[in-house]
Amino acid sequence: MAPISCRELSTRLSSLPRGVATTAHARLSFRRTPGPFRQLTPANSDGLLWRLPSAATRDDAVASLVGHLEHDAARRGHDAAAKDDEDEEEYEDEDDVSPGRRHGARRHHHHQDELAARWRDIHGRDDWAGLLDPMDPLLRSELIRYGEFAQACYDAFDYDLASRYCGSCKYPRRAFFDRLGMPAAARGYAVSRFLYATSNFRFPNFFSQSRAGAKIWSQRANWIGYVAVSTDEESARLGRRDIAIAWRGTVTRLEWVSDLMDFLRPVADEGIPCPDPEVKVESGFVDLYTDKDPTCRFCKYSAREQVLVEVRRLVAHYTALGEDVSITVTGHSLGSALAMISAYDIAESGANLSNDKRAAVCVYSFAGPRVGNARFKERFEAELGVKALRVVNVHDGVARIPGILLNEGAPAMVRRVAEGLLRVPWCYAHVGVELALDHKRSPFLKDTLDPGCFHNLEAHLHLLDGYHGRGERFVLASGRDPALVNKACDFLKDHHCVPPCWRQDENKGMVRAPDGRWVQPDRHGWHLDDDHDQHHGEAAPADGAHRHIRLVRRRS
């Protein structure tokens, strides 16, 4: 190779894949040792220090380095596509962070410091104008944070049909985020209430029922989400007291869509105090939100009553202290539909109003279906001022239903005739602002026809982390681990060596008892410790207290 000057170095290096030129962190060491000019050789096993023969001039050294990098580039990539994948899929050891990455970390910290001043914009005051393209880094981090709150509903739910606690939460409320391995959330939020639901519909893919018969924790209830409130320290960082509501959805199976799709029903018929009978929502969604069973300890009150009571209590408490309060509702899939309905209900019923202060209500929705008609959209957005940002994968079919034919994209005249004159009960409209992502932009994800992968929440959070705007390269902004994508699906490319559906409890939750037998640990005390009835002003049943005492004695 002919020698080149240092001035030509940038031109030559620019033709190499960025990962090859930067990840090695090569340093040139000029040493006066005898011997003719030779190809550069690494001085240590990591290849981080390159030694040059003494006869090499500075330009020779540069030429040798470029030659080595070109050779290394050819060796690492089988073709141009593979090189592009490697370019994006960079990992660095925490002890060997480049100055650029340190600068990015400082910039990320700087954005977090801005949150207290910008939280109203991030919460949708101006409908996220100018924040989505290009993607605002602070908004991206907040979307991922609330998306992880929704993901926590999946990770904490007991799906095991062999468990007598199937359909419940695996972790106690007071240690919820700690047990999930979410230290930032554990420091920043305290779960104030678990939410339960029952329904007259039969949803085998949503309402999990144990096969343990009479021994199960509840015959009718399923754990469906939680309410959490920010701590004092977190509230100072956020710039307000935040009430977060997370609703559980579905993981992979999508049959619930056809199970729930029925027809539009006026919300006033379900007890929501709406003055306009033309405001309608999907009947299956609102039934799940309002159904209750007076004979069930956990579903004596509907999910609607549970969340409204808790929100009113928290808003009244913190507004009385003179604090700014926000209500942020999040959910994925079916949980997104419940998030939209509950946010609307909170604003419609005035649960966000106390002490002459109104808490801002916002929804961060992930892969959600349409919920109501065009009049619901108008009431939601323009009249009540509820904000909603919908994160969707353009290849996910759930975001296009119900209302495949008659929706917000149809001509206004067609919608007016269909809904007004013909009274067609299938005219739907999405609410809020859409952030459309494309999983084919990510070099980490493989080409598959599995709709469950397109719909997966962890995949949406991965796409958010790499999204910088329409037409921009996919580059992970926070370094969020791509392995999380395969937590409950098979979406990562095989060369990452991440097994599909890898997340599971150790020994499937079984523990060894003092007598050496393997048993399921008792969880009834956790539910009874939730003060579920006290939030409605009732005392807990006496038999519950005695049962808890017996459990404590068995563990001692």
Q: What is the tens place of the pLDDT at every residue in 316-341? A: 999 999 999 999 999 999 999 999 99
Among the options 68, 123, 439, 455, which is catalytic? 455
pLDDT in tens, 488-511: 999 999 999 999 999 988 998 899
Q: What is the pTM of this model?
A: 0.77
Distance separating alpha carbons of residues 135 and 383, to the nearest angstrom: 28
**Rounded mean pLDDT, 113-136:** 96
Q: What is the pLDDT, as a whole number, of residue 322?
A: 96
Please identify which of the residues 64, 235, 302, 333 carries the catalytic annotation: 333
* Pick from 84-93, 108-117, 358-367: least confident: 84-93
Q: Which of 359-373, 398-412, 519-533 has the lowest mean pLDDT?
A: 519-533
Percent over 70 (pLDDT), the chain: 68
Whole-number average pLDDT of the chain: 79
Tokens of 11: 């031109």
Weakest-pLDDT range from 68-77, 93-102, 135-144, 205-214: 93-102
Active site residue 396: yes
Average pLDDT over residues 224-248: 97
* pLDDT for 145 beyond 60: yes
Marked catalytic residue, from 291, 396, 465, 530 = 396
Tell me the two tokens of residue 96.
Answer: 């060997």
Structure-token pair, residue 79: 């073709």
Residue 524 has pLDDT above 90, yes or no: no
The pLDDT score that the predictor gives to residue 307 is: 98
- Of 523 and 490, the one with more pLDDT: 490
Assign 392 a pLDDT band (cuts: 50, 70, 90): very high
Residue 207 has pLDDT above 80, yes or no: no
102, containing H or E segment: helix 99-113
* Between residues 102 and 235, the one the model is more confident about: 235
| Residue 276 confidence class, pLDDT cut points 50, 70, 90 | very high
Pair type for strands 518-519 and 222-230 = unpaired
Work out the average pLDDT over 139-166. 93
- pLDDT at site 84: 47
Three-state SS annotation for 121-148: HHCCCCCCCCCECCECHHHHHHHHHHHH
- pLDDT classification of 11: cutoffs 50, 70, 90: low
- Edge-first strand order for the sheet with 433-437 is 189-197, 222-230, 241-247, 325-332, 360-366, 387-393, 433-437
Q: Is 455 assigned a catalytic role?
A: yes
pLDDT value, residue 165: 86
Between 425 and 142, the higher pLDDT residue: 142
pLDDT confidence of residue 15: 53
Instruction: Check residue 442 and give its pLDDT.
Output: 97
Please tell me the distance from the alpha carbon of residue 321 to that of residue 235, in angstroms, as a whole number. Answer: 13
Q: What is the mean pLDDT of residues 236-258?
A: 79
Q: Is residue 58 predicted with pLDDT exceeding 80?
A: no
Q: What is the pLDDT of residue 547?
A: 34
The confidence band for 57, taking pLDDT boundaries of 50, 70 and 90, is very low
